[in-house]
């Protein structure tokens, strides 16, 4: 007998199980369908607010410490010119995250599960290794950012800050045990702290409005200037995070929407609005970092500022606001903490989706965190702060190179009517998605060439 709420056979995506006798577990089973949705009689606002949360968790990856390094460097060296690149990368992120949410809601699969179901085992191993490498690279940036923020605020050694950053795994465990809404509220609270800190700094910087608006218009110099192009590629690589596509396709399934055609369609609509609004907040924060750097450092004899520590040291005297540097470090700490939380969650989703690992959640999260912390500790012990800075740059290069391994499978799946049924994207959206994937691949090839040669 067909369970209530199950769509007709003709409407169900044609995914195959790895083993028909061993049914596929739900993505993040401990919180699957745990967030209640108000009934049909509720207002559209109440129903929309029930879906608010996953988009903000995803947006965390678009303003993590890895973004800070590229935004600071771009603003200090080239003023407001690269604002156009931030806006373009953000629009690409909005499209890709909407596709990720559609996949998770329409099929009941996260991206890792979909890959395992669709691709042969050998290719799945390659994709899993690429995902793990991306997670480690992202975690490196987040651990470094948290450690640097603790050093700037409290004078803690980088090594101590790195070890303290491991506590995020316990924060995830504590909040997840109370309910997924608590984890979302914690993340949104830290995002609010970041937004307020940078709003104050932008007001203090008093950037020329006309120059800022011109910065959002594409300039040919971005292509013709090799140094500017390199930073632009770094901004895109640091903004469009590969692990976020796996994360979003999973956490949208925490909502207890009707698993019917109309229920899924409504869930896709609200989830798309949620992620789009949240990523516009990420656009503001990324743009604010570059605007503050451009106003404070560009043309003021500080064009070479690229390190977070240098920006912290110079912000207050340059802006004439004593609290500016403290706000900068506080926002960095909030960004690092948020990013390690969502990165840990993404690591769990990828391990469960690709490998069906049956190990305790706390052990899986500590393993994911340990893979990031160990390289940072090694670099601190042998090379000090200089090694950490180089490691941060290397992490962004690795992240950028891993992006096609997530984007291309995602576009393949959401374009396939055999698997997505009525939820497959239109031909126009498919062409636009493939264009974005092509741009990402070409930019990554350019980045790889510049890195090697």
Query: What pLDDT band is residue 265 in, cutting at 50, 70 and 90?
Result: very high
Is the overall model pTM greater than 0.75, yes or no? yes
Closest CA to 370 of 395, 343, 350, 352: 343
Beta-bridge partner residues of 255: 35
CATH number at residue 250: 1.20.1740.10
Any domain includes 12: no
Q: For residue 40, what pLDDT is reported?
A: 81
Any domain includes 209: yes
d(CA 117, CA 284): 38
**Lowest mean pLDDT segment, chosen from 9-18, 24-33, 228-237:** 9-18
Asked whether residue 137 carries a pLDDT value surpassing 80, the answer given is no
Any domain includes 178: yes
Any domain includes 25: no
d(CA 56, CA 64): 13
Any domain includes 4: no
Q: Is 36 helix (H, G, I), strand (E, B) or coil?
A: coil
DSSP H or E run through 19:
none
The total number of structural domains in the chain stands at 1
d(CA 343, CA 332): 16
Sign of CA dihedral 93, 98, 102, 105: positive
Any domain includes 46: no
pLDDT digits (tens, 9 = 90+) for 384-432: 666 666 666 667 667 777 788 899 999 999 999 998 999 999 999 999 9
> What are the counts of helices (DSSP H) followed by strands (DSSP E) for the chain?
19, 0
Query: Could you tell me if residue 198 is left (phi over 0), alpha (psi between -120 and 50 degrees) or otherwise beta?
Result: alpha
Any domain includes 30: no
CB 149 within 8 A of CB 329: yes
CA angle 428, 432, 437 (to 5 degrees): 145
Q: Which residue has the higher pLDDT, 382 or 238?
A: 382
Any domain includes 426: yes
Map tokens 């390190």 to a residue: 307
Q: For residue 386, what pLDDT is reported?
A: 63
CB 127 within 8 A of CB 354: yes
Query: What pLDDT band is residue 5 in, cutting at 50, 70 and 90?
Result: very low
pLDDT digits (tens, 9 = 90+) for 20-38: 344 567 888 889 999 999 9
pLDDT digits (tens, 9 = 90+) for 172-229: 778 888 889 999 999 999 999 999 999 999 999 999 999 999 999 998 888 888 788 8
Domain membership of residue 90 as a residue range: 51-452
């Amino acid at each position: 007998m067909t369970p209530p709420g199950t769509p007709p056979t003709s409407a169900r995506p044609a995914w195959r199980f790895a083993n028909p006798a061993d049914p596929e577990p739900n993505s993040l089973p401990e919180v699957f369908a745990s967030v209640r949705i108000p009934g049909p009689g509720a207002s559209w606002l109440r129903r929309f607010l029930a879906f608010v949360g996953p988009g903000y968790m995803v947006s965390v990856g678009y303003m993590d410490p890895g973004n800070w390094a590229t935004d600071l460097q771009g603003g200090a060296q080239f003023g407001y010119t690269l604002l156009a690149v931030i806006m373009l990368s953000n629009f690409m992120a909005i499209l890709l995250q909407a596709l990720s949410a559609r996949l998770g809601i329409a099929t009941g699969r996260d991206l890792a599960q979909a890959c395992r179901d669709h691709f042969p085992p050998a290719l799945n191993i390659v994709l899993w290794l690429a995902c793990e490498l991306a997670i480690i690279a992202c975690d490196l940036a987040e651990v470094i950012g948290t450690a640097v923020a603790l050093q700037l605020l409290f004078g803690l050694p980088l090594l101590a800050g790195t070890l303290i950053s491991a506590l995020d795994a316990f924060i995830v465990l504590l909040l997840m045990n109370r309910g997924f809404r608590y984890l979302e509220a914690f993340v949104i609270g830290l995002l609010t702290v970041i937004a307020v800190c940078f709003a104050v700094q932008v007001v203090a910087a008093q950037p020329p409005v006309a120059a800022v608006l011109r910065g959002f218009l594409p300039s040919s110099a971005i292509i013709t200037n090799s140094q500017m192009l390199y930073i632009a590629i770094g901004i895109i690589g640091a903004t469009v995070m590969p692990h976020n596509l796996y994360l979003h396709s999973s956490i949208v399934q925490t909502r207890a929407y009707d698993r019917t055609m109309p229920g899924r369609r409504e869930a896709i609509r609200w989830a798309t609005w949620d992620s789009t609004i949240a990523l516009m907040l990420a656009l503001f924060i990324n743009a604010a970092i570059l605007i503050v750097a451009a106003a404070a450092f560009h043309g003021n004899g500080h064009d070479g500022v690229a390190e977070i520590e240098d920006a912290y040291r110079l912000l207050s005297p340059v802006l004439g606001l004593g609290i500016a540097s403290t706000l900068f470090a506080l926002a960095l700490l909030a960004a690092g903490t948020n990013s390690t939380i969502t990165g840990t969650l993404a690591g769990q989703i990828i391990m469960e989706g690709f490998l069906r690992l049956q190990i305790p959640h706390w052990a899986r999260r500590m393993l994911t965190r340990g893979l990031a912390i160990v390289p940072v500790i090694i670099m601190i012990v042998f090379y000090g702060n200089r090694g950490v800075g180089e490691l941060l740059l290397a992490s962004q290069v690795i992240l950028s190179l891993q992006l096609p391994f997530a984007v291309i499978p995602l576009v393949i799946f959401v374009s396939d009517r055999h698997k997505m049924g009525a939820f497959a994207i239109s031909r126009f959206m498919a062409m636009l998605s493939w264009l974005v994937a092509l741009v990402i691949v070409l930019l990554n090839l350019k980045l790889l060439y510049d890195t090697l040669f």
